[in-house]
Amino acid sequence: MTKWKDPSPSWHKLNFDGAANNNWQVRGGVVRDHQGGLIAAYAGSLRNHTVNEAEGMALLWGMKFAIAIGIRQLEIEGDSKIIVEAISGRSAAGWKVEAILRDVRMLLADLDSFTILHIYKEGNVVFDSMAIVGMLQEGL
């Protein structure tokens, strides 16, 4: 069974996710401290995006939140293997997604340290409820 784990002491963790179907696209995530305490949660709707674009936008907004509140050491987890591998330089994600990830990489350069890992959907369950919130939002 996959379970969420607290980040290392003095670190924070960002879990991000995006979702899309023919009628809606959402992005969202959660930033937590090293004890699992909620620091920030975000969700929002998108228009005319693929699932990979929604995943990339979820990561981008999470990075913006983290940096805006002064986080310098960040563990990043997402269930999109495509996004995680593209950020890690192990694959390409397509030109539209790469444009989003270029902005993510610039933000990663502002951190002192980071890790980015693929997790299974079961380890990212908070987003299931955030997706509902996101579908009801105009914007973020």
- Domain range for 93 is 12-135
**117 in any annotated domain:** yes
Hey, how many other C-beta atoms are within 10 angstroms of the C-beta on 103?
15
In tens, the pLDDT along 14-62 reads 999 888 777 777 888 999 999 999 999 888 878 877 888 989 999 999 9
CA atoms within 13 A on the CB side of 19: 19
Residue 128 lies in a domain: yes
Closest CA to 13 of 47, 44, 39: 39
CATH of the domain at 26: 3.30.420.10
Number of domains comprising the chain: 1
User: Each residue of 66-120: pLDDT tens digit?
Assistant: 999 999 999 999 989 999 999 987 776 776 889 999 999 999 999 999 999 988 6
Beta strands in 47-100, from DSSP E residues, in sequence order: 73-78
In a domain, 23, yes or no: yes
In a domain, residue 6? The reply is no
pTM summary value: 0.85
Give domain status of residue 113, yes or no: yes
